[in-house]
């Protein structure tokens, strides 16, 4: 998937540092019904909250990759103030390994663009949400995640929804995955938007302390 033209994201006139975040969303058939509905509502909450902060709206960049039967770039990187989430639909299996590999490839391309244009950037985030287990080969993708974390090149967060294979997810993610309390997608996306806003107000070299996830998840 090619990165969108620089003119569409404000380079080179936009001098703000960038905080890229890829939402890696499981839309497999088991997400049908209330889970996918709450996920879509959560994305609208995320949009509203991150756009409510003027600086975050300019610094946070959002991309969305869905995986359900196939892996789809639902939204290439776009500045948060221009972000408009599309309605997601549940279908198919759970090609998580392929989705993670694509996310890491997209991040590498995006960071190359930042460097080429002299744009400072924060450590990128990948935020994975799933209710199942991978239906494809995922071990190589997990090794790539570990390397990215070891090199402090990206931060990978994983959240399981009821039915998720947390044991496998713990091998996929470098840090311990969280289990969503019920279908509290709204609370989760409020935390995510607040966290990215906090990061965007810091220095690019600064370590940001994130708020507790106790309101919406348990380990």
Number of domains forming the structure of the chain: 1
Q: What is the pLDDT along the chain (219 residues), one digit of tens a residue?
A: 333 444 445 555 577 999 999 999 999 999 999 999 999 999 999 999 999 999 999 999 999 999 999 999 999 999 999 999 999 999 999 999 999 999 999 999 999 999 999 999 999 999 999 999 999 999 999 999 999 999 999 999 999 999 999 999 999 998 899 999 999 999 999 999 999 999 999 998 788 889 999 999 987
In the DSSP assignment, the letter for residue 32 is T
Whole-number Cα distances in Å, 41 to 45, 101, 178, 187: 6, 27, 20, 11
Domain at 27, CATH number = 3.40.50.410
Q: At what angle do helices 139-150 and 96-116 cross, to 10 degrees?
A: 30
- Which residue range(s) make up the domain with 149? 16-200
- pTM check: above 0.85: yes
In a domain, 1, yes or no: no
In a domain, 120, yes or no: yes
In a domain, 35, yes or no: yes
Q: What's residue 174's pLDDT?
A: 83
SS3 content of the chain, % helix, strand, coil (to 5): 40, 20, 40
In a domain, 69, yes or no: yes
In a domain, 186, yes or no: yes
**What residues form DSSP beta bridges with 136?**
none
In a domain, 209, yes or no: no
**What residues form DSSP beta bridges with 127?**
23, 157
Q: What's residue 96's pLDDT?
A: 98
CA-to-CA distance for 214 and 46, rounded, in angstroms? 18
CA-to-CA distance for 26 and 161, rounded, in angstroms? 10
In a domain, 5, yes or no: no
């Amino acid at each position: 998937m090619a990165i969108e033209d620089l003119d569409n994201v404000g380079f080179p006139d936009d001098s703000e540092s960038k905080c890229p975040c890829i939402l890696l969303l499981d839309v497999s058939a088991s997400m049908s019904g209330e889970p996918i509905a709450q996920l879509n509502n959560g994305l609208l909450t995320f949009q509203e909250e991150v756009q409510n902060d003027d600086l975050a709206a300019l610094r946070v960049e959002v991309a969305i990759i869905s995986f359900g039967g196939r892996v789809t770039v639902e939204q290439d990187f776009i500045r948060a103030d221009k972000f408009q989430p599309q309605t997601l639909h549940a279908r198919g299996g759970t090609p998580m390994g392929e989705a993670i590999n694509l996310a890491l490839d997209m991040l590498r391309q995006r960071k190359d663009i930042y460097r080429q244009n002299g744009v400072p950037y924060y450590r990128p985030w990948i935020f994975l949400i799933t209710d199942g287990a991978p239906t494809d080969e995922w071990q190589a993708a997990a090794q790539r995640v570990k390397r990215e974390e070891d090199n402090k090149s990206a931060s990978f967060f994983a959240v399981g929804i009821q039915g998720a294979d947390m044991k496998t997810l713990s091998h996929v993610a470098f840090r311990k995955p969280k289990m969503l309390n019920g279908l509290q997608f709204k609370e989760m996306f409020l935390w995510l938007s607040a966290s990215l806003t906090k990061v965007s107000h810091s220095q690019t070299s600064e370590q940001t302390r994130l708020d507790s996830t106790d309101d919406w998840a348990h380990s």
